[in-house]
Amino acid sequence: MTFPLLHSLTIALGERSYPIQIGSGLLADAASFAGLPKASAALIVSNSTVAPLYAPALQTALQPHYASVHLVVLPDGEAHKDWQTLNLIFDALLQNNCDRKTVLFALGGGVVGDMTGFAAASYMRGVPFVQVPTTLLAQVDSSVGGKTGINHPLGKNMVGAFYQPQRVLCDLDTLKTLPASEVSAGLAEVIKYGPIADTTFLDWIEAHIDALVARDVQALAHAVRRSCEIKAQVVSQDEREGGLRAILNFGHTFGHAIEAGLGYGDWLHGEAVGCGMVMAAHLSQALGLVDAAFVQRLTRLIAAAGLPVRGPMLDASDNAGRYLALMRVDKKAEAGAIRFVLIDGPGRACMRGAEDTLVRAAIDRCCAA
Ligand code: NAD
Ligand code: GLY
């Protein structure tokens, strides 16, 4: 099956609606940036890995639209998703006398996207920004939906704002330079959309997992498109996560415990989410929501994407207890009671609590001895 390489979808949020454009060669094409809010200055925010690869082409494409195009290069990595690095964006804006119409362009993965969005939400009480995601994870998830923010030493993504971009531009060509482990990490977020929302998509991912791992551009185009469609539907119904949007965090509660327990940056976010989905599937089975065959199917798919399906030992004396303690500070926890996103039959997600004994058993089944 072949898919056209250019798609445009809309996130429907009334006056905050915006398009997601998916295709090849978009980043270097000045036409991609027509029709954005008028401004004299633009600031590209990128990092030390991505800027040398793509900032020159983006700068050239933006020049017809802005009198000045500035660039700020952040240090690379989740460990730098903090106040100190965020301040580098404000420094660049103020040093270049950027006014309240300046448009920010987030050129990079989810870390750059989340920080640029948060800077845009707060600089002069809000300036427009555009997402130009360059990782698979950012193209299928983090660039869409307006969650922005930084980490706190006591918790991931604990400081931030809902702030929607003006446009999301997914240039599939940028995925060619991604390390293989980052492709796998992005596939974790692609896979999650199947069990929570669309069994047809889950079947398709299973049939195309080798092509996706090999970065077949047709397969990637469909994966990015369908993922963004599902995310757009969810976010359009529940922008600020009053309820439904939480299903997008399937695997993330366990995954955040892995990331926090090991120290941010040890496992990739997507790797932790992949393993977290296996744990959440086991918990779903323990609650009688899915059968063992479904858990095995999902585990096989996650492994085929090149992701870990065995969790790390976070504490030699009480491993499950350590996971539980870390999950109690998850944003979805209410008064210390953990709320899990579980699979309530293939293609359907639910949110619920679970007895500690069942959670412990799910963790024990998935963790290396
Ligand atoms: P990342 O931003 O750290 O990027 C991964 C690595 O790939 C980095 O080293 C980066 O420099 C490099 N890179 C990026 N694009 C590249 C390219 N085209 N070629 C070569 N190297 C490239 O990680 P990520 O997985 O994109 O994002 C993870 C972050 O996203 C986490 O902080 C997570 O909390 C956040 N996130 C946010 C949301 C949301 O809704 N806002 C959703 C999911 C995840
Ligand atoms: N990645 C989860 C969300 O955007 O809500």
| Options 81, 167, 269, 282, the catalytic residue | 269
**Is residue 193 predicted with pLDDT exceeding 50?**
yes
**Is residue 4 predicted with pLDDT exceeding 50?**
no
DSSP H or E run through 56: helix 50-62
| Options 252, 282, 322, 339, the catalytic residue | 252
Q: Using 50, 70 and 90 to split pLDDT, how confident is the model at 120?
A: very high
355-366, pLDDT tens digit by residue?
999 999 999 999
The reply to whether ligand 1 has any atom less than 6 angstroms from the CB of 359 is no
Q: Using 50, 70 and 90 to split pLDDT, how confident is the model at 7?
A: confident
Last residue of a domain, one of 177, 203, 220: 177
For a mutational test of ligand 1's pocket, the pick from 114, 183, 247, 330, i.e. the residue with the most ligand atoms closer than 8 A to its C-beta, is 114
Are 27 and 173 found together in one domain?
A: yes
Q: What is the pLDDT of residue 2?
A: 47
Q: What is the pLDDT of residue 335?
A: 74
The arithmetic mean of pLDDT across residues 214-236, rounded, is: 96
271 part of the active site: no
CB 166, CB 16: distance < 8 Å: no
Last residue of a domain, one of 135, 153, 177: 177
Are 27 and 64 found together in one domain?
A: yes
How far does the centroid of ligand 1 lie from the alpha carbon of residue 73, in Å?
A: 15
Q: What is the pLDDT of residue 329?
A: 80
The reply to whether ligand 1 has any atom less than 6 angstroms from the CB of 251 is no
27-62, pLDDT tens digit by residue?
999 999 999 999 999 999 999 999 999 999 999 999
Are 309 and 260 found together in one domain?
A: yes
Are 135 and 263 found together in one domain?
A: no
134-143, pLDDT tens digit by residue?
999 999 999 9
CB 144, CB 168: distance < 8 Å: yes
Are 148 and 213 found together in one domain?
A: no
The arithmetic mean of pLDDT across residues 67-80, rounded, is: 96
Tell me how far apart the alpha carbons of residues 236 and 88 are, in angstroms, rounded to a whole number: 32
Specify the CATH number for the domain of residue 307: 1.20.1090.10
Give the CB-side neighbour count of residue 55, counting CA atoms within 13 A. Answer: 20
Are 34 and 123 found together in one domain?
A: yes
**Is residue 226 predicted with pLDDT exceeding 80?**
yes
Q: What is the pLDDT of residue 5?
A: 57
Whole-number mean pLDDT of the chain? 95
CA 308 to the chain's CA centroid = 18
Are 154 and 28 found together in one domain?
A: yes
Last residue of a domain, one of 177, 208, 240: 177
147 part of the active site: yes
Are 85 and 103 found together in one domain?
A: yes
Are 161 and 57 found together in one domain?
A: yes
Within 8 A by CB and 6+ apart from 158, the residues are 149, 151, 152, 331
249 part of the active site: yes
**Is residue 1 predicted with pLDDT exceeding 90?**
no
Are 220 and 132 found together in one domain?
A: no
How far does the centroid of ligand 2 lie from the alpha carbon of residue 142, in Å?
A: 7
The reply to whether ligand 1 has any atom less than 6 angstroms from the CB of 142 is yes
Are 353 and 334 found together in one domain?
A: yes
Are 150 and 239 found together in one domain?
A: no
Number of structural domains (the chain) is 2
pTM tops 0.75? yes
Nearest CA among 222, 186, 234 for reference residue 11: 234
| Structural domain range at position 294 | 180-366
Q: What is the pLDDT of residue 333?
A: 73
Q: What is the pLDDT of residue 369?
A: 63
282-320, pLDDT tens digit by residue?
999 999 999 999 999 999 999 999 999 999 999 999 999
Specify the CATH number for the domain of residue 116: 3.40.50.1970
The reply to whether ligand 1 has any atom less than 6 angstroms from the CB of 279 is no
